[in-house]
Amino acid sequence: MTAARGLPNVAEAMSFLIPSRTLRPADDPIFALNAEAKAREKAGEHVVNATVGSLLDDDGKLATLEGVNEALRDLPPQVVAGYAPIAGSPDFLRGVALDLFGDRPEAKMVASVATPGGTGALRHAIANFLEPGQALLTSSFYWGPYKTLADESDRGLETFPMFTGSGGLDTDGFHAELDRLVKKQGRALVLLNSPCHNPSGYSFDDAEWKRLRAAIEDISAKGPVTVCLDIAYAKFGAQPLDVMLDAMLPIANKALVLFAWSASKAFLEYGLRVGALVAVQPEEEERRRIQNALVYSCRGTWSNVNAGGMAAIANILLDSTRRARVDRERAGLIELLGRRVAKFNELAAKAGLTYPRYDGGFFTTVFVKDARDAAERLKADGIFVVPQPGALRVALCSVAERDIPRLVEGLAKVA
């Protein structure tokens, strides 16, 4: 390559990027697969696109909630245009605490900030509760951006085996890995995603939550353990969130319990970028320190969150009529998704597919030997799924009920 106007070509000799950033892949693999599926669809092919985690109706249109659309339309221009407080609007944060805890006493023991989606909440958890160079702990199947978020903050990611041989949550494996990490690092941050775990579709049951709690209680005697509960899919779980809350809130005086709350799936507003990180801390002085650190992080990253988005979601969360309407509308879509889940379970069982317990939510994961090869073969057949180590993620949220027989048939051929 010749340099312009006789200047030396610096790109040949060195990179302006710092070494840890020179080999970053640009494409998010899921978004890239979705783009490929869409291109083939545009060219006239009938593809089954089970890649992206957005809820589509059976005509392939992005589903939205009319009560949310109306709350957004009702916003005064000055509310949309103005800066929001750095921590997030107080009404929005009150609404989130109400949504999470109702009238539980924990609602009054929180440090919380608004974040751009659950992603922002996870980002703040990683940056504030782990030192650079330390690793977070999550399940062996996990949402890929956990690793991206860790990388981006110069933290690592380690895993515990997610499933036992009989298909339940491996809480003993969790206990052992948490113990190892606390011994190594002197502290731990755990990311747990349930209900409707992405990518496996698994929801922890009451007994599993209680075993997780016992493990955390045991290890937190050895060093500070922060547990971040990623509840992005909370509204789609077969069980109420109370199952998790009843099991986990009692450890809030021993471990730090965080919630990564998101409006993306709960209100079907992925692009609005509204979420929150909520920390439950009974001790006032520590709560104040956490609040300060989180607000500082907001200022040091995105400054403040979408003001109109927060106002619309707050108006729904704090107004019982609007809220009931949105809950009703969401229930209709949960039913639509439930029909797909039931159809999938019926056909997948007959076809002998191996996958974790799946009782609701956007995704399931089918175990296969060679996921890359299986995904490629499915793609040749016009079926798009996301390969993971040892499994294929199938986003039923974006597959029409009538396409499920074709999807399962295809999966059975490659499993």
* Tokens linked to 17: 């990027």
| Residue 388 CB-density burial (10 A; 0-12 exposed, 13-18 middle, 19+ buried) | buried
Smallest distance, Å, CB 117 to ligand PLP? 2
Interface residue with ligand PLP, options 48, 111, 228, 232 (CB under 6 A): 232
Per-residue CA distances from 340 to 164, 221, 337 (Å): 27, 44, 5
Host H or E run for residue 337: helix 320-351
- Contact set for ligand PLP, span 73-112 (CB under 6 A): none
- Asked if residue 126 lies in contact with residue 293, where contact means CB atoms within 8 angstroms, the answer is no
Nearer to ligand PLP, 138 or 185 (CB): 138
Q: Per CB under 6 A, does 49 bind ligand PLP? A: no
Interface residue with ligand PLP, options 67, 88, 95, 117 (CB under 6 A): 117
User: How far is residue 123's CA from residue 297's CA, in Å, rounded to a whole number?
Assistant: 9
* Tokens linked to 181: 């990490």
Per-residue CA distances from 154 to 127, 133, 397 (Å): 9, 6, 33
Q: Which residues pair with 191 in a beta bridge?
A: 228
Stretch that binds ligand PLP, among 44-52, 115-123, 242-250, 327-335 (CB under 6 A): 115-123
Nearer to ligand PLP, 130 or 191 (CB): 191
User: Positive or negative CA dihedral for 254, 292, 105, 204?
Assistant: negative
Interface residue with ligand PLP, options 51, 119, 185, 200 (CB under 6 A): 119
Nearer to ligand PLP, 357 or 406 (CB): 357
Interface residue with ligand PLP, options 67, 88, 95, 118 (CB under 6 A): 118
- Asked if residue 51 lies in contact with residue 34, where contact means CB atoms within 8 angstroms, the answer is yes
Nearer to ligand PLP, 119 or 203 (CB): 119
**Can you say how many angstroms the Cα of residue 222 is from the centroid of all Cα atoms in its chain?**
29
Buried b / exposed e across 9-44, counting CB within 10 Å, b at 16+?
A: eeeeeeeeeeeeeeeeeeeeebeebbeebeeebeee
Interface residue with ligand PLP, options 89, 262, 315, 398 (CB under 6 A): 262
Stretch that binds ligand PLP, among 14-22, 159-167, 262-270, 310-318 (CB under 6 A): 262-270
Nearer to ligand PLP, 394 or 414 (CB): 394
User: Positive or negative CA dihedral for 301, 307, 313, 316?
Assistant: positive
- Contact set for ligand PLP, span 264-303 (CB under 6 A): 264, 270, 275
Q: Say how many residues touch ligand PLP, by CB under 6 A.
A: 13
Interface residue with ligand PLP, options 92, 143, 209, 267 (CB under 6 A): 143
Residue whose C-beta lies closest to ligand PLP: 117
Q: Per CB under 6 A, does 364 bind ligand PLP? A: no
Stretch that binds ligand PLP, among 117-125, 311-319, 333-341, 347-355 (CB under 6 A): 117-125
Residues near ligand PLP, by CB under 6 A: 53, 117-119, 143, 193, 198, 230, 232, 262, 264, 270, 275
